[in-house]
Structure 1
Amino acid sequence: MTEFGFIEHIRTSFATLPDNGFEGIGDDCAVLPAGTDAEGREEVLLFTADLLTEGVHFLRRATPARELGRKALAVNLSDIAAMGGRPVATLLSIALPRDAAGTWAEEFMAGYRELSERYATALVGGDTTRSESGITINVTAIGRAPAAHVKRRSTARPGDVVFAAGELGASGAGLRDILAGRLDTPLAAAHRNPEPQVAEGLWLGAREEVHAMMDLSDGLASDLGHILERSAAGAEIDLERIPVAAGSDLRTAACGGEDYRLLFTAAADAAEELAAAFRARFGRPVYPIGRITAGRELVWMRDGRPEPLDWHGFTHY
């Protein structure tokens, strides 16, 4: 069973249970109505969880504990940002082997606190236990957003422009460096230290011309497919317009995971104005890389012509 086959099995198995007001499986976060804010706007709470396992998501010998603490939180804040929300709290559960229960754990928590402080995000609970086979970390993040600002994967429309909110491929190239023993390169540091685009997500969430959004965790080739599936749409992506990070390459930019840049679609007639406003606000560009189509396939284009490429992002199983 594939990862997404398993997720679909879970979704189907639990479909007859009451949802208790939650909008659940299918987006970066689960959504729960939360009344109105001081201005009378309907608000929602956003919930997401992410797991990091030693030997699968990180190598302890290659990742300082403080950096791993920041990363464990960053990947969850990225999910909140992808829905247009503001992070407010987290819960942390961690299983530690005996040799990581002292100084390593303290350094891990120092990194986790640094990023929590940067985004004014409270740590409100969790669990700790002993592990006999490596470190396992699970973070649940909670965010808030005006209901009208929440962006989903299911709302891309034919004709929308597809944007990436930053260069791609640095993390994938950094992972190659780490696996080759090159631990001190800028690309290896980029892999270990993702930056969640929290301010960008809040800003894009407030823009009506932005339709669908998610973050790039498993790679453009896989993650865009989630938007297409949920939106019952297709896409054409111009290979020459994919923003390749320095030191990476086109295939890594398209297929490598853990860039944690925002991927979003926006109305074509507002795309240029949106891109200019983003640059004015953040001092860097967003990159139009293609368009949503009425078909059901992802088509790679080169110089205006389809190019048959069997490209896929990271798969968990």
Structure 2
Amino acid sequence: MELKEIGEFGFIERFSPEFKSLLTKNVFGIGDDCAILPMNDTEDLLVTTDMLIEDIHFLREKITPWQLGYKSVAVNLSDLAAMGATPIGTFLSIAIPPGVDVEYLDELMKGYHAISDRYQTPLLGGDTTKSVKHLAINVCAIGKCPKGQAKLRSGAQAGDVVCVTGSLGDSAGGLQVLLNQLESNEDTYYLLKKHHQPEPRIELGETLVNLNRVHSMMDISDGIASDLKHILKASGKAAKIELNKLPISDQLKRVSQQQNWQPEELAVGGGEDYELLFTLESSLLEPLQRLFLEQFGQTVFPIGVIEKGEPEIHWVKEGKKVQFGKTGFNHFQ
């Protein structure tokens, strides 16, 4: 059997149950965006790690070293945001192949510092080694949140509204701009920036963690077709998602029309949007939208509802059920 037949999460499921017996009281491991460790009487420590590999997660000739340094931190801070944590610090491990000069690495670390400074997240250590061929960057991020309040994937309840914090598909559109070498204009620049320089939703996560009627949460890294299924499986619920309610930017719509792309497919299966995906009690939706407009100048977007049933997504468009085959990003396919 090849790994592409089961994917990364199928692989994880093969060994993760054996490690659950090693967990001590109040420690949560594999299964959410971060591990949770007791820190003191009022706070929990959250830990996450993510890896970026050249030619898999980025094309070195298509991204500036500054952008790469920025993105390597952003994707990890997004995991902290996904559970409502405030960042404390990061650790960087980097494998450097021949041909990468010191000036390139200087620029990479300037990007790393820019986002670290923005979110007051110091670099605390790490490891540097040689690589035979590809540049590899692994970041471990740690954060804190109020004790017992971290948002998990397992709390979704029937009747919850499924929401996202921003437009979907822009990063996937940016990748297509790169791969197809599209002409630069305001719209393609916007999509490229979304792909190369995602913004972790730290402040939004810190707000949502304090709301008891927000029942489950994660970030969107592989696309909602894949990521929502993690919430459904952990919660033992189904979901109905309305494709016509997906928040799609005007920029993506215009470029999609010009290039004959299907923006809904990019929004559902593209991944790397790093918006927050969460479920909440329906009565909280309008007050939360007002709160977000007042505090952040943006709203949240309801895209469907949680239902009783087997963990699967029922896609609907203009009131009619549709077959939608997008499954989200899979590293091994």
Which category describes the TM-score, using the shorter chain as reference length?
Answer: over 0.9
Structure 2 unaligned spans of 5+: 253-262
Match of 1:133 in 2: 133
SS of match in other structure, 1:213: strand
Q: Distance in 1 between matches of 2:289 and 2:33?
A: 24
| Residue 13 (structure 1) shift | 3.4
Which range is displaced more, 56-65 or 207-216? 207-216
Q: How many residue pairs align between the two structures?
A: 312
Match of 1:39 in 2: none
1:1-317 correspondence to structure 2 within 5 Å: 1=3, 2-19=7-24, 21-36=26-41, 42-182=42-182, 184=184, 185-186=188-189, 187-248=191-252, 249-296=263-310, 297-317=312-332
Equivalent residue letter for 2:300: V
Equivalent residue letter for 1:286: V
Q: Distance in 2 between matches of 1:197 and 1:18?
A: 29
Q: Distance in 1 between matches of 2:20 and 2:143?
A: 25
**What do the CA deviations read for 1:140-180 (whole angstroms, capped 9, x no partner)?**
00000002431000001000000010011110000001111
Equivalent residue letter for 1:302: K
| Residue 20 (structure 1) shift | 6.8
**What do the CA deviations read for 1:110-133 (whole angstroms, capped 9, x no partner)?**
100111011111111100001111
SS of match in other structure, 1:126: strand
SS of match in other structure, 1:208: coil
Contact 1:77 1:198 in 2 (8 A): yes
Which range is displaced more, 305-314 or 123-132? 305-314
| Residue 17 (structure 1) shift | 2.9
Q: Distance in 1 between matches of 2:30 and 2:69?
A: 26
The RMSD of aligned alpha carbons is 1.3
Q: Distance in 1 between matches of 2:294 and 2:15?
A: 43
Q: Distance in 2 between matches of 1:114 and 1:204?
A: 25
| Residue 209 (structure 1) shift | 1.6
Q: Distance in 2 between matches of 1:31 and 1:53?
A: 26
**What do the CA deviations read for 1:214-270 (whole angstroms, capped 9, x no partner)?**
000000111001000000001000111010122331111111110000001110122
SS of match in other structure, 1:35: coil
SS of match in other structure, 1:14: helix
Contact 2:23 2:29 in 1 (8 A): no
| Residue 18 (structure 1) shift | 4.3
**What do the CA deviations read for 1:178-225 (whole angstroms, capped 9, x no partner)?**
111238532112200101111111011111221100000000111001
Contact 2:171 2:272 in 1 (8 A): yes
Contact 2:98 2:133 in 1 (8 A): no
Distance 1:183 1:109, change over 3 A: farther
| Residue 21 (structure 1) shift | 4.9
Q: Distance in 2 between matches of 1:11 and 1:239?
A: 34
Contact 1:65 1:107 in 2 (8 A): yes
Which range is displaced more, 7-16 or 268-277? 7-16
Q: Distance in 2 between matches of 1:206 and 1:22?
A: 20
Structure 1 unaligned spans of 5+: 37-41
Q: Distance in 2 between matches of 1:60 and 1:303?
A: 41
Contact 1:173 1:247 in 2 (8 A): no
Equivalent residue letter for 1:195: E
SS of match in other structure, 2:75: helix
**What do the CA deviations read for 1:291-311 (whole angstroms, capped 9, x no partner)?**
000112210011222112122
Which range is displaced more, 201-210 or 8-17? 8-17
Equivalent residue letter for 1:258: E
| Residue 88 (structure 1) shift | 0.6
Which range is displaced more, 176-185 or 134-143? 176-185
| Residue 55 (structure 1) shift | 0.2
